[in-house]
Chain A
Amino acid sequence: MSLSAGAFESLELRGVGRSFGGREALADLNLTIRAGEFIALLGPSGCGKSTALNCLAGLLPLTHGSIWIDGDQRVDVLPPEKRDFGMVFQNYALFPHLTVAKNIAFGLQMRHLPRAEIQRRVAEGLALVKLEEHATKLPGQLSGGQQQRVAIARAVVVEPRLVLMDEPLSNLDAKLRLEMRTEIRRLHQSLGLTTVYVTHDQEEALSLADRLVVLREGRVQQIGTPEELHDHPANWHVADFMGYRNILDVEVASLNGTAARVAGPGLELDATAAQGVAVGEHVKLAIRPSDLVIAAPGGPSTGSKNRIDAVVEVVEYQGREFAVDVVTSTGTRLHVRADEAPLAGASVSLAVDPTRAVVFTRDLDAASSETPEPAQVAQ
């Protein structure tokens, strides 16, 4: 299919915000989207990501800020039908009374293209999502994955300037979700369509997007490439999304540059500060499950100083490895990965590399920034 990469150089959101009766669902979103980019808006439900998408589509009027194309063309004052943005809805929103082909043709007909051109592009669209043999079926006769593909074809066949996707995979089963994820990535690479994708699944966001925008309570926490976010989360909320499943409340006992000694209930560890913290401050300690190594209690180990004693509670087999939940003597639950299954109820000692235990300030709003902190956490 011969789709041109977006008809603009950049799309700029300036201080975009949306309030519902005094409650801010989205506040002060500043983002510049370059042509051909795949942007993922990531956050838990209620974080404002869908609001942001609906504001972009024009389905929700802005209450603050503006949206510009190439710096001089104002978009947020246009109704959705004039914006030329394609949207894929969470529930697909296929027209139930129209066949698959007519669903795909709808946007082309609205643009009053010649009949032959519409036929050609519908055929291309059907081929793109491999649904040629279903062209004359009604959406109700298709499976969820097929419906999703129709929705995608319907949105991209009009060659929109921007494609918006609102959690398009959340209604699919796990296997299909993986397949469709690859499919979406493939479409994006072959068509070069500028895309904004909303999801609450960090794996989806990391694997699809060129850049991620992490939102919390309507505010941007961090904007960056998947690598930047994965390696240098700006605060503990982003870290939580990026797989730091163990987030503990601790206190800074001593500090030497970024090397910090932290103490919490029943544990004392060497860690690395990712944000500016002070001695005596209550902070958040973040550790990925894969960075907690199970060692025999009392046995010699490389990080022998940096240990947490705990009791194994739950062991889950996950194919290649085991996901283990352990509980420390003070009742703190930790998530751990292990190559070999420990026995439930066994006492274990967990070792952690000080560079892999990251300290964040507890306050989230203080340090939300577009640029991550300097690379101080070892990879």
Chain B
Amino acid sequence: MTIAPPKAQRSSASLKHRLAERGIDARLWLLVPAIVFAVALFVYPFAYGFGLSVQPLPTTVDQWGGGLFANYIAFFRDTFVFDSVWITMRLALPAALFNVVVSIPLAFKLRRRFAAKRTLQTMLVLPIALGTVLTAQGLLIFLGRQGWLNRFLMETGLIDEPLQLVNNYIGVFFSLVISGLPFAYLLISSYLSGIDPSLEAAARTLGAGWGARFRRIMLPLLAPGLATTFVLTFVLAFSVFPSARLVGDASGETRVLALMAYRAFAEQLDYSMASTIAILMGVIELIVVVIVFYGRSFLYRGSTGGKG
């Protein structure tokens, strides 16, 4: 360019207008309730918990050393505590994956109108309304050693010994599916409705069978939504507590982190260790979330042309 660009004229608008241009105006007051809640219910308790975690009990310091960070050292060195990270992962990752993978065909099938759609949808979503305790109780009654299922199978002679379906890993897994699947299904079907149906029609007219359509068109467009859904159901499953205790094996297979934190707090009266476990739980969840969202950033995330 040979001609120098004219110097930007100073705006003649009032200060109020110029601030509004940058998003600073009276409507910012609408954020106040959110900020109050965030500070009162997250920032302050979190800071307080971190404060607790760096005030270890003298016995912890004696055993593990490390001064202020004795609790953190204990967390990673004490195999009894640290194993529980893997126990929780072993439960939360497959459960989240299962919920997402099973929701995909469900969401696809329930996109179109068919006879029993309403009924099926209601049955799928209803468990959201059930509390974890109610779910656990139901599982115990239905799947327990003296439960309906085992009695039925024994009396029909299909099995000799009752199946061990609760008070172990399977029981908690069931419970996580019952509470997580409706979430996953609802999220994925809303992502799916955001994809313009004419894209699939276009792929069909170009000669793509259902496999190719799913792999080449629908899956790539749905993938960011699947990642988000996975993260949400994973976080839900990772912090599992009531069902791990009620239908799980609280001292063995399902000794999840939330249970460990609860033990430190209620049984050992070690508030600082309990806070440490809680904070590290958050850190581990955050690591998984960051990994998934980092992977998601490589996917196409623009418009998918639908009504979503």
Contacts and interface: CB of A to CB of B under 8 A. Distances in A.
Interface of A: 57-59, 79-87, 89, 91, 93-97, 106-107, 110-111, 138, 140, 154-155, 158, 164
Contacts of B199: 93, 95-96
A80 B217 contact: no
B280 to A, nearest CB: 38
**Chain B interface, DSSP helix/strand/loop, else mixed:** helix
B172 to A, nearest CB: 37
B302 A57 contact: no
Nearest to B220: A97
Interface in B180-208: 196, 198-199, 201-208
Question: Which 5 pairs from chain A and chain B are nearest by CB?
Answer: A97-B300, A107-B206, A110-B207, A93-B202, A93-B198
Interface residues of B, number: 22
B303 interface: yes
Contact of A96 (B203, B204, B305): B305
Contacts of A94: 202
A328 B228 CA distance: 67
A80 B205 contact: yes
Contacts, number: 76
A368 to B, nearest CB: 30
Contacts of B204: 58-59, 79-81
21 contacts: A57-B201, A59-B201, A81-B206, A81-B209, A82-B207, A84-B207, A87-B202, A89-B198, A89-B201, A91-B196, A91-B198, A93-B202, A95-B202, A95-B203, A96-B300, A96-B302, A96-B304, A97-B302, A107-B207, A154-B202, A158-B206
B290 interface: no
B201 A154 contact: no
B221 interface: yes
B133 interface: no
B216 interface: yes
A80 B201 contact: yes
B302 A110 contact: no
B217 A95 contact: yes
Contacts of A89: 198, 201-202
B64 to A, nearest CB: 51
Contacts of B304: 96
A197 to B, nearest CB: 15
Contacts of A82: 207
A86 B201 CA distance: 11
Residue of A106, A154, A155, A158 with highest tally of chain B CB at under 10 A? A106
Nearest to B200: A93
Given A81-B204, A111-B207, 17 more contacts: A57-B205, A59-B201, A81-B205, A83-B205, A84-B207, A86-B205, A91-B198, A93-B201, A94-B202, A95-B199, A95-B203, A96-B221, A96-B300, A97-B221, A106-B203, A110-B207, A140-B303
A110 B208 CA distance: 6
Nearest to B213: A81
Nearest to A164: B205
Contact of B208 (A81, A84, A154, A155): A81
B266 interface: no
B47 to A, nearest CB: 42
Nearest to B210: A81
Contacts of B202: 87, 89, 93-95, 154
A89 B196 CA distance: 12
Nearest to A111: B207
Interface string B290-308: 0000000000101111000
